[in-house]
Structure 1
Amino acid sequence: MKKVLIKNARIVNEGTITEGDVFIENGVIAEIADSISAKSPDVNIIDAEGNYLLPGIIDDQVHFREPGLTHKDTIETGSMAAVAGGITSFIEMPNTLPNTTTIEKLDEKFEIARKTSYANYSFMFGGTNDNLQEILKVDPKTTAAIKLFLGSSTGNMLVDDQKVLEEIFTKSPLLIAVHCEDEATIKKNYEEQLEKYGEDIPIENHPKIRSEEACYLSSSRAVALAKKTGARLHVFHLSTAKELSLFDNKKALKDKKITAEVCIHHLWFNDQDYAKKGTFIKWNPAVKTKKDQEALLQALIDNRIDVVATDHAPHTREEKKNKYPNAPSGGPLVQHALPAMLQLYHQEKITLEKIVEKMCHNPAILFQIEKRGFIREGYKADLVLVDLNSPWAVQPNNILYKCGWSPFEGVTFKSRVTHTFVNGRLVYKNFKVLPFSPIAEQLTFDRK
């Protein structure tokens, strides 16, 4: 499928919605116009029938669990679910086993992705208390960012040496992405709960353990350190209203040195949902109050928050069923992230243009990804067609995650992804991932 003509689409791009056609040739958007005619018989014509054409989603935070935890997910299975959800590019995290904290381990991941990924890919390089020399070897043009865990989570990569932290912030050749939760606060809260409840800690107390204060203490320190050192800082998965005071909306994204993101689960769930969902909505940072949930959405709209991501982090159903102390944090989200955001659109909480800005344009700008994230002539043809009025229910028989479950089970979404194109190739159509073809590409970055 070297030539594709998408006709009669409502194109959502760069703050506007326009009706038109898009012609793709050799994996690149060759022409965008009101009306385009097929110039040769070898053009595959797809009638969008008035459905909406979006740039492919760029998810800057996924955990595909390969290597070392492949009973939960792999780059192949995770990326397959991703393209079903309109995600055409992903950036994967370093807390696999072994951790991605050496150039050798990073190269091994790239090799796996080259052979198995359905979506375009890059990886973050993990920082630790003792691998600064490896960090300095990372190529800024081929690796997305440095990832630091300032609070322990799945896989123990906690960086807690303040001298080392300052050195990384000062010398890192890349943007630094951080998971912010204060370890001392979490440990104190957990010990109090353990003393009171033993192993029967109620899941409703998760946001008391991984508390607002734990998040704010860590985020505020990271922001202060970035300001002191001049580091380019991106704070992952904000979960509290209090943290929002650390970020501003007075500059264009390209001019910001400190940015932030929110994840799907913190926009969709709040602490009232623990009673029904239990440990299946146990995440780090924790899902918190309805007030926090509403404040995060407002900050997304007013541009204090720059990016929407998934933090896709699957575990098996059996693992998640454990009692609170032993139930791992995280859940699968890539297949359902875009439908969930479109549901918020139907609820008149966010516009289509803003969804595209936060899930497509801004990740491309923030990470300086070359020729992706926009519907522009000359850009890679990573595209998603969505039908905004085609309801479907999330059920076990249509869940593509290797772990076999979703926190959205039982939810009926009003919108669905009908087609996903990666580098001009149709990879997903109407609830079916098409046979694998090695057309995904390693992301490259427009950096000096």
Structure 2
Amino acid sequence: MRTLFPNLDREDGLDTVLEVPIPEEMLSSTKQKSWRKWMKSYPDRSFASHFGDKSTEIQLLLTVLGAPLIPLPVNHDNDPLFNSNFKGQPIEASMAKYIVQQYIAAAGGDHALSAIESMYAMGKVKMATTEVISGDGKVMKMKSGRHSSHGEMGGFVLWQKRPDLWSLELVVSACKISAGCDGKVAWRQTPWNHSQATRGPSRPLRRCLQGLDPRSTANLFANSICIGEKTINDEDCFVLKLVADSSVLKARSSINMEMVKHTIFGYFSQRTGLLVQLEDTHLLRISSPGKDDVFWETTMETQIQDYRTIDGVNIAHGGRTVVSLFRYGENGEGHTRTRMEEVWTIEEVDFNIAGLSLDCFLPPADVKKDEELCGEVVSFKVQPNNPSKVKAAKKVSKVTAIDEDVLEPVYEDDEW
């Protein structure tokens, strides 16, 4: 989907071929029978003109749920995976390594996972902002899309190549975002801002570790500890915990923004050995001269389901992600909690893609890494008379999405 809109002005031109799957709900909502007609219904490509007041809500969803990264770089030096001796190690670390070994076996085995050099996945998503709780305890239900039960529909295509190359393109309600990593720097490109690189070391895409890339998942939890057991959806699980160290947190911080902590949990089934839930939480502190510090706590919890065997490897083909954004630190009226959800399904998966070269993962030419932007925030204001409408504001207000990797300022008078 490098070129979205060729030949739209020519009746005799070829139809656009998209890699990203477009759900039937998106096409049926426009009462169009083809992608060509659907795209022609949007002659002006201005983001705000398409969505009006809904544009900022879509931006909120895509900023938080579109392409989040895992807090730690993945160590790919474990070849072959885990031949280490458990003797002399703390019991929590030894148990974690044993659980990860069982996960490798359940996912297909060391030989099958080591044979994967590249991967392609195509899927569909449904996103919605479901709830906003203000400081006074008032609950405001959000309505996403024309039909609140549907939310915002979309699709994505993901490419990955060892050791740490990946590329993602995601389309939700005709709004496209792109993200990727060339092995040195991770970046993201959105309709409302120029391309930007993330701070700190390059890190894997969280979506890859939601059951799509067992090898990276095993490497991620190689240095974790086992903190106990927990039942998830009637499934007894071992809980592995991994904490980002101070050097990684410092690399992701800036003058006005401090990444206080970032912790990730993996819940591995005692029955099947597979990863059934991935959870991570990070705490961010925003400092402003003459004002109290504002804290943002983001918790992302993904239930991973529908494992199917593809070429001897168990791949998850569905799941549900719930995100909670909690803002506090000022007076009680400034506290807010926002809840978002994403349901995702995988339509196609393939391994060892022929012709997938390094050129496929090059960042856009306009990728910028401006440290002066690292302390900015993305702000959204819920109008009291109409909670379903979310508008941008210049000040940090009732509802704010903090994207700690690429903090993108949104202003009321921006031209999107």
Q: Shared fold by TM > 0.5?
A: no
Q: Which has the higher strand share?
A: 2
**Greater fraction helix:** 1
Larger RCO: 1 or 2 (CA < 8 Å, sep 6+): 1
